[in-house]
Chain A
Amino acid sequence: MVDILKPEEMYNSIDYTIPSDRWEAVPTDLSGGKFCYPAKKKNQDYLGLVTRDEWSPADEDWKLPDNWEQIIYEGFKDRLEKYRSLKIFMDICVRCGACADKCHFFIGSGDPKNMPVLRAELLRSVYRKDFTTAGKILGSIAGARKMTPTVIKEWFSYFYQCSECRRCSVYCPYGIDTAEITMMGRELLSLLGLNINWIIEPVANCFRTGNHLGIQPHAFKEMIDFFCDDIEEITGIKINPSFNRKGAEILFITPSGDAFADPGTYTMMGYLMLFEHIGLDYTLSTYASEGGNFGLFTSSEVMKRLNGKMYAEAKRLGVKWILGGECGHMWRVINQYMETMNGPADFMEVPVNPITGTRFDNAASTKMVHIAEFTADLIKNNKLKLDPSRNDKFKVTYHDSCNPARGMGLLDEPRYVLKGVCNNFYEMPENTIKEQTFCCGSGSGLNTEEIMDLRMRGGLPRANAVKHVHDKHGVNMLACICAIDRAALPPLMDYWVPEVGVSGIHELVGNALVMDGEIERTTDLRFEPLNEEEE
């Protein structure tokens, strides 16, 4: 890991003093630790994207192709014609400043170009020059700016300092969504082969193996089998989930992080136990073994290419509907993009919970249900035997992941589940949860080691709110429904609030679930004693 400041030093280094130079004149800092490593050529190649020979953002000369200006101009024009959002967001911002201090990266870094309004101006200034009458005639008086290699560097830096969390768009009087701006900026950079590896490698992996981590089918199965062994040890119950099984009623898809890295793995165990307990007729797929979609952070086309596997696999296996696991951006894609891109899903049926009979009419068209909706329905209908006291050592708070909160509105379902499975639940302050929630600081493909300083700064608002409930109520567990959170929040907590752990909500469900025929449990899913006093 890169050396970064100590927490107190970082906290005290935050300075909101505005630079004396106009922002256009402030050079972009691309020294080590300030940028994400660029995409490897083999990954771009595999996906058929524009490739680049090895380069570093720290290089003085980025050796852009000769016609780079034309590529950007035409790419911009094309996107203006394709997206009304882009056109409108370029034209109507009044720079009222309501968004300025809503961005976690601005709050943590104090860098004015992390104010959403300025992030958008990076693009807007070029738009004015190339596409507006006033900008063409009046130039800089009208806020227009010529495209130069310096601007490209600035774009690369700041469009990879935005996690597309949409918090700013909640406060914008016109709903201007910086996520849209960042997506367009990244797509334009991609036309010059300027991607980052932390995004493109998972995308290439996912394209080939079906998941971001590049887990091959046999290894995927082995991992799940391994969790089943653990479950047997803890509960005495042997589970045999099926893989790629035709004729199953439901296809279950969750982010591959749940199969690979702690603490996501405990959440995976929770799913498996839940499905076993209710006798669900489901199957896992090794081909569609990824819920997440880093294509969303690359371009709409790449997003579509990765997402296509979900419906393709559902069709091949002949399932009735799809159940989706805990993941943030995955649900932005499913809720707002999937069926538009890869539908219609008319080969499936409107999802019905086979245990409760509840019809999920809100998923009537995509045929895909969120696990929190599913489990909330089970708990409401008393279909689960739960012993919340098994989670008594946890004082739990809940982190709304950006995408389910602001790209879907999944707010009460996970809370209902949590309150059903644990006795100690405390909310963080109102301005930091639900639609006002703060990003983990590492979303949209920024969960990479080399920018640890930025990630800890970006995650500060979230961590600070956790610290508040930690100090006030003794909160020691941060529950979330996002695989990126489960990867990003543990180091964030270690850094800012070291006594707080991170879990998915279905880990806590797994702890509380009283399965038929289970042995007396002595440990939780992490093989830690159920109650701290017994230690």
Chain B
Amino acid sequence: MNVNYLSSLLAVVVLGLVAYVGAGIAGLQGVFGIFIPYLAVVIFIAGFVNRVMGWAKSPVPFRIPTTCGQQQSLDWIKQNKIENPSNLFGVIARMFLEIVLFRSLFKNTRTEIVGDRLSYKWVVWLWLFAIMFHYSFLAVVVRHLRFFLDPVPFLVKFLEQIDGILQVGLPGVYISGITLLVGAILLLLRRILIPKVNYISRAADYFPLLLIIGIALTGLTMRYFTKVDVVKIKELTMGLATFHSGVPEGGLGGLFFVHLFLVCILVVYIPFSKLMHMGGVFLSPTRNLANNSRMKRHINPWNPKVKFHTYDEYEDDFREKMIEAGLPVEKE
């Protein structure tokens, strides 16, 4: 039992209840369906921009890439142009692999003591769970664009086709919805069950995972079990997107508002939390710089003036001894 995940779980349940009671029972559908979503988006944009600007405001005084391969050196020595880039092209390739394929995470190993040897085995699980989770999330977000765009763009429809390729169930099962839930649960279980990971985990690690699990569960329930009225939802969401918002006649079910409210909470939470890694990963100086500071001078905008110990001071200190040892001096 751990207070970190119990408190996070409690927070998510309470938030869900707030929406259920507020919109479903007390009928504050305008508040939960219109006001809060707008507010969330405003906070998200302002918070996100503020955070990124805050990072950008601090300079990068030194060129400190972590080099993970052979440097550019003599012509006949093969450079690792991606893991140790020396130009922009290489940096772009490195960042692409990092952001799109989680390159560094893919290198993960597990250290174990086996008899009198330490062993470092390649382990793929964290990478696999992370890829599954993030890409499912992306697919789910893109699919939801259908609610905010009319006509629905080709790309969204195309993704839906691929996502629904299994062609089972009615409505057809989208793979990404399931894998998002499974991915989030696996990441959560990892945090709960692996002692090391458990020890480093905070409420701030459990909360977003549980929040996303809550979002996925309510979403899947609406699609596959309670068969929510999608036309009505689209009426609401299109209203939001086109700034002609209004609650559809007859209102919507409480579960929908739980789903929407948890999404709003997530959106608001992003700029103030570790979820900003989605922006920060682009700006990390150990990854997004070329290892070329011997080829090209890098400027530190605050390069301090410091007190050096000059050669003259040095010679003044040791002149006698230098002369005696036959070392050349500036002043005899």
Q: How far is the CA of A380 from the CA of B66 in the complex (A)?
A: 28
- Contact between chains at A406 and B111 (CB < 8 Å): no
Task: Decide if B167 is an interface residue (CB 8 Å cutoff).
Answer: no
Task: Decide if B59 is an interface residue (CB 8 Å cutoff).
Answer: yes
Task: Decide if A357 is an interface residue (CB 8 Å cutoff).
Answer: no
Task: Decide if A312 is an interface residue (CB 8 Å cutoff).
Answer: yes
User: Interface stretch among B173-181, B231-239, B318-326?
Assistant: B318-326
- For B125-160 the 0/1 string (1 means CB < 8 A from A) is 010001000000000000000000000000000000
- For B264-288 the 0/1 string (1 means CB < 8 A from A) is 0000000011101100110111110
Binding site for A on B (CB under 8 A): 7, 51, 54-64, 66-74, 76-78, 80, 83-84, 86, 98, 102, 104-105, 107-111, 113, 116-118, 120, 122, 126, 130, 194-205, 272-274, 276-277, 280-281, 283-287, 291, 293-300, 302-304, 306-311, 314-315, 317-318, 321-322, 324-328
- Contact between chains at A107 and B111 (CB < 8 Å): yes
Can you offer 8 A-B residue contacts whose CB atoms are under 8 A? A14-B113, A82-B58, A84-B283, A95-B274, A305-B306, A341-B303, A362-B72, A416-B77
- For A109-149 the 0/1 string (1 means CB < 8 A from B) is 00010010110010000000000111000000111000000
Interface centre among A98, A101, A102, A465 (most CB of B within 10 A): A98
Given A175-B286, A217-B321, A362-B295, A336–B111 Cβ distance below 8 Å? no
- Contact between chains at B202 and A95 (CB < 8 Å): yes
- Contact between chains at B280 and A88 (CB < 8 Å): yes
**Known pairs A175-B98, A217-B327 / 19 extra A-B pairs, C-beta < 8 Å:** A84-B56, A92-B280, A95-B197, A107-B111, A171-B108, A171-B109, A174-B277, A312-B311, A340-B298, A362-B73, A362-B294, A365-B296, A365-B297, A380-B74, A406-B67, A409-B70, A410-B71, A431-B122, A435-B68
Residue count of chain A within 8 Å CB distance of chain B: 119
- Contact between chains at A340 and B303 (CB < 8 Å): yes
- Contact between chains at B308 and A308 (CB < 8 Å): yes
The one of B58, B281, B296 that contacts A83, using a Cβ cutoff of 8 Å: B58
Smallest CB gap from B313: residue in A: A208
Contact partners of B130 in chain A: CB under 8 A: 96, 173
Task: Decide if A517 is an interface residue (CB 8 Å cutoff).
Answer: no
B138 smallest CB distance to A (angstroms): 16
Q: How far is the CA of A14 from the CA of B111 in the complex (A)?
A: 13
The one of B66, B277, B306, B321 that contacts A304, using a Cβ cutoff of 8 Å: B306
Task: Decide if A523 is an interface residue (CB 8 Å cutoff).
Answer: no
Contact partners of A101 in chain B: CB under 8 A: 109-111, 196
- Contact between chains at A366 and B293 (CB < 8 Å): yes
Given A143-B203, A368-B294, A406-B68, A112–B196 Cβ distance below 8 Å? yes
User: Interface stretch among A241-249, A262-270, A274-282?
Assistant: A241-249
- For A203-225 the 0/1 string (1 means CB < 8 A from B) is 00001111000001110011000
Contact partners of A208 in chain B: CB under 8 A: 309, 314, 317
Contact partners of B201 in chain A: CB under 8 A: 95
